[in-house]
Amino acid sequence: MEQKKIFMTGDRPTGKLHIGHYVGAIKRRVELQNSGLYDECYVMIADTQALTDYYDNPDKIRESVVEVALDYLSCGVDPDKSVIFVQSRIPELFELTCYFLDLVTLSRLERNPTVKSEMRQKGMEESIPVGFLCYPVSQAADITAFDADTVPAGEDQAPMVEQCQEIVHKFNSLYGETLAMPHLLLPEKDSCKRLPGLDGKAKMSKSLNNCIYLSDDERTVEKKVMTMFTDPTHLTIEDKGHTENNPVFIYLEAFAKDEHFARFYPQYPNLEALERKYREGGLGDVEVKKFLAKVINDVLDPIRKRRHELENDIPAVYKILEEGSLKAREKAMQTLRRVRRALKINYFEDKKLIEKQVKRFRKQHQDEENLRAYLAKQKKN
């Protein structure tokens, strides 16, 4: 199988996208899409996966699909370069999931650390929907259906890509080289791999309500930044502060460039100098937060402007999703033809199979005929 350079990634439509998505996933995809290094790029809105834990709130998913699409387009995901599509419109993904389910054990699924922490977060430890427990398998189908060799995503996706690699390995060893082996592509900076929440929790997440959304206006960003958790031992300006594990400094590492210092905070040439001062003492949290709000607003400003324009033509956004879904389906259909062939369930395509079966039954009938004739002859003698 010739391996093209293909990336595949996506997001759950469980709300609008936040700045964790931007640094952890979207920024990278836009760079890859524009790099010219990839033959095909797929970006999926994972509505079926979102229903595994939002099955009682389909309206939320329905509303969020267009929000996520608007976030993509305003961040620069370009439908001429990337296929943007909706998961539920590609039935081949669910067929592939079914085949993969035979290759994974229940105990393996229960060991997935991301799923475990999500179960805790959602109070699902006592009773977990089967669909939710199996979503890493369905995600393996999403990745392999598009022959992706690269999955640009945040750190929480490492167990999913590992599970996918195991499935690919098992499938290819059992049925012959059929599926492409994917690799996770993490953001370079540690701060971007898993951006913490405003509340200092380990991950900014739509489900935890601790986010700055890409569509938040300037004032909302300022207000949210002011409520941020910082160093709890830094009580007065004179106190020595800690920059490690301090969300304000983690966000600055993720977003602030030297040019932001020159424009908004010329007292300091760069982040190292600011960190040094904070650690020495004599620098207040409010001052640093004001700077952080300016930096985030500077990054979000062009995104918000583009979003506003796109919101004036919502039918065009749905058209992009519909056309993308058709293109994505074409690709998944090709992979599934290969998969069915490998699994020997391509009964109606394989003309040789019919010929072989015709011959087999003919021979069987002939053998029976010969046996009958032989027995009749024996009886006579």
Min separation Cβ 139 and ligand ATP, Å: 10
Min separation Cβ 305 and ligand ATP, Å: 23
Cβ atoms of 197 and 203 within 8 Å: the answer is: yes
Interaction between residue 61 and ligand ATP (CB under 6 A): no
Interaction between residue 182 and ligand ATP (CB under 6 A): no
Interaction between residue 27 and ligand ATP (CB under 6 A): no
Beta bridge partners of 44: 10, 85
Nearest residue (CB) to ligand ATP, 34 versus 121 = 121
Min separation Cβ 14 and ligand ATP, Å: 4
Residues in the chain, overall count: 381
* Contact stretch for ligand ATP (CB under 6 A) within 85-93, 201-209, 266-274, 301-309: 201-209
| Cα–Cα distances in angstroms (integers) from residue 342 to residues 171, 346, 347, in the given order | 9, 9, 12
Interaction between residue 28 and ligand ATP (CB under 6 A): no
* 274-313 positions binding ligand ATP, by CB under 6 A: none
Interaction between residue 84 and ligand ATP (CB under 6 A): no
CA dist., res. 40 & res. 82, Å (int): 7
- In sign, the C-alpha dihedral spanning 319, 322, 324, 326 is negative
Q: Which residue is nearest to ligand ATP (CB)?
A: 24
Of positions 6, 7, 8, 24, contacts ligand ATP by CB under 6 A = 24
Per-residue mark of binding to ligand ATP, 128-167 (x: CB under 6 A): -------------------------xx-xx----------
Beta bridge partners of 184: 151
Of positions 7, 8, 12, 324, contacts ligand ATP by CB under 6 A = 12
Nearest residue (CB) to ligand ATP, 97 versus 157 = 157
Q: Where are the alpha helices (DSSP H) in the chain?
A: 19-21, 27-35, 47-54, 58-75, 92-101, 106-110, 113-121, 130-133, 135-145, 158-175, 190-193, 218-226, 247-255, 258-264, 271-280, 285-310, 314-342, 351-380
Interaction between residue 241 and ligand ATP (CB under 6 A): no
Interaction between residue 16 and ligand ATP (CB under 6 A): no
User: Nearest CA to 310 among 81, 77, 47?
Assistant: 77
CA dist., res. 330 & res. 290, Å (int): 49
Nearest residue (CB) to ligand ATP, 55 versus 347 = 55
CA dist., res. 320 & res. 253, Å (int): 34
Nearest residue (CB) to ligand ATP, 118 versus 285 = 118
Q: Where on the chain is the footprint of ligand ATP (CB under 6 A)?
A: 11-12, 14, 20-21, 24-25, 153-154, 156-157, 194-195, 203-207
